[in-house]
Amino acid sequence: MKKKHDWNIKSKHILVVMILVCISLMLLTFAGKFPAAPVRKAASYAVVPFQNGINKVGTALSDMTSGFRNKKKLVEENKKLQSKVDELTAENSRLTQSISELDRLKKLYDLDKEYSEYDKVGAEVISKNSGNWFSTFTINKGSDDGIQKDCNVIAGSGLVGIVTEVGKNWATVRSIIDDTSNVGAMTMTTSDTCIVSGDMRLIDEGKLQFIHLKDQDDKIQEGEKIVTSAVSDKFLKGILIGYVSEIEEDPNNLTKTGTLTPAVDFEHLQEVLVIKELKQQKGDS
Amino acid sequence: MRIQRKVVTLLLILICAILQGTLFKALSIGSISPNLLLILTISFGFMRGKKNGIWIGFCCGLLKDLLSDGLLGFYALVYLCIGYAAGCCCKLFYDEELRVPIILTAAGDLVYGGLVYGMQYLMRGRVQFYYYFGRIIIPEMIYTVLMTVLLYRLLFNINKRLTELEMKERDSIWLRK
């Protein structure tokens, strides 16, 4: 009996019903009535262990292939590196001398709070956004390691992005090159504020866009450092974003726009550091 | 028997969703990776008909929704419509034919790309459609079609095995009566 009843429902009806379900879901999440976060957490709870596992297999494989690299090459490389070490030692001693000067300058720019002062946790990128349209990724650390929503994520010397969602042992990060990302920033020397926004079209060139830069005295040159600004409510102050590569005046003659080269290599991102401190907390204390 | 089929299908969806974010990101060409969930939706929709297309499309889309941020239900809607469209071709062509799912995937991926662009990019004032068309939609379509050529046989065999199992069980129950 039941089977017969099944056959009577036409596929058209199912289609209409499911479309209505989807649209109502969208409207509910848009209105904030539907608790999307717990459902997402449940789904990620099921998927993240697998992603972690596959990632481990991938790392093991790449380790193995690199192990097969022949000896000759390594010896050659070693020689090259040795000469590089000498070169760098010389350079290092030169740089040590200018550290005191740097300290002074940092104080001058009120940027003496270096990232090393923040409490950080290292994490691995285990999965990237499954589509081609957005630049978000998942890392293998979550609330267990003290990561919260809106935590800043850095790698090497520069800003990578911001945590948008947190689970027990995973977190989703939206990188600053994502098309929907906007970061309040400022220039290093003049402290002029601007907005750094990701743009799909510039990703291929490995660049970011900045807009609304007020620079009345034309002081900003190419190569100028752009750091996160003090007025941003989610990003901690003074994290390096990148270097100005092009700059031009807007038609309104008041502000400037241009592109900047990020300090982080987003194409080969594998390990990131998450700063546990939140901007909001810092303001409260 | 029906449960078995459902479990296998759900597992396939899960596997595709996981591989799409991990392995196929590593195999991406020019930072473009293929749309495995779409291949799954279209292949099964085409082999099993409209209703299955709708349900599988819905599950695929919902999982994708859950694993990315944005409006919940958007991908579910896109995928279920594509699954339904693929299901419409079920009775028109033999499912051994490889050409049909290829054409369906190409068309489906174009529609998918167009919808994602229209809803998530155009709405934010990114109007340079031709750039995105040439940079993402077309390469993704080509890569996805290539993957269809490789994967359709596999999915076809899985489906055949499942149907055979079902037939056997149904027969034996019928004979017992």
Chain A contact present for B138, CB below 8 A: no
By Cβ distance, the residue of B58, B87, B128 closest to A18 is B58
CB A118 within 8 A of CB A279: no
Burial class (CB in 10 A: 0-12, 13-18, 19+), A117: exposed
Interface contact A11-B54, CB threshold 8 A: yes
Among A residues 156-195, those touching chain B with beta carbons less than 8 Å apart: 164-165, 172, 174, 179-180
Q: Which residues on A lie below 8 Å from B19 (Cβ)?
A: 54
Place of tokens 């002029």: A192
Interface contact B136-A132, CB threshold 8 A: yes
Chain B contact present for A37, CB below 8 A: no
By Cβ distance, the residue of A44, A130, A138 closest to B20 is A130
Interface contact B68-A129, CB threshold 8 A: yes
- Determine the pLDDT at residue B102: 93
CB A161 within 8 A of CB A197: no
By Cβ distance, the residue of B22, B67, B124 closest to A44 is B67
Q: pLDDT confidence of A249, banded at 50, 70, 90?
A: confident
Chain B contact present for A45, CB below 8 A: no
Query: Among A60-69, A108-117, B127-136, which is the least confidently predicted range?
Result: A108-117
Interface contact B73-A29, CB threshold 8 A: yes
Chain B contact present for A133, CB below 8 A: yes
- Determine the pLDDT at residue B140: 93
Query: Among A85-99, A134-148, B79-93, which is the least confidently predicted range?
Result: A85-99
Interface contact A172-B69, CB threshold 8 A: yes
- Determine the pLDDT at residue A200: 84
Farthest CA pair distance, chain A: 88
Interface pTM, i.e. ipTM? 0.79
Q: Tell me the per-residue pLDDT of A225-242, one tens digit each, with 9 for 90 and over.
A: 888 888 888 888 888 898
Residue A110 has pLDDT above 70, yes or no: no
Q: What is the pLDDT along chain B (177 residues), one digit of tens a residue?
A: 578 888 999 999 999 988 888 888 878 888 889 999 999 999 999 999 899 999 999 999 999 988 887 788 899 999 999 999 999 998 888 888 889 999 999 999 999 999 999 988 888 888 888 999 998 999 999 999 999 999 999 999 999 998 888 888 777 766 654
pTM summary value: 0.76
Interface contact B31-A203, CB threshold 8 A: yes
Q: By C-alpha distance, which of B159, B162, B65, B41 is closest to B119?
A: B65
> Nearest-CA distance from A84 to chain B in Å?
31
The C-alpha torsion from B164 through B168 and B173 to B177, rounded to 10°, is: 130
CA B102 to CA A2: how far, in whole Å? 36
Interface contact A14-B33, CB threshold 8 A: no
Q: By C-alpha distance, which of A169, A178, A175 is closest to A44?
A: A169
Burial class (CB in 10 A: 0-12, 13-18, 19+), A115: middle
- Determine the pLDDT at residue A8: 66
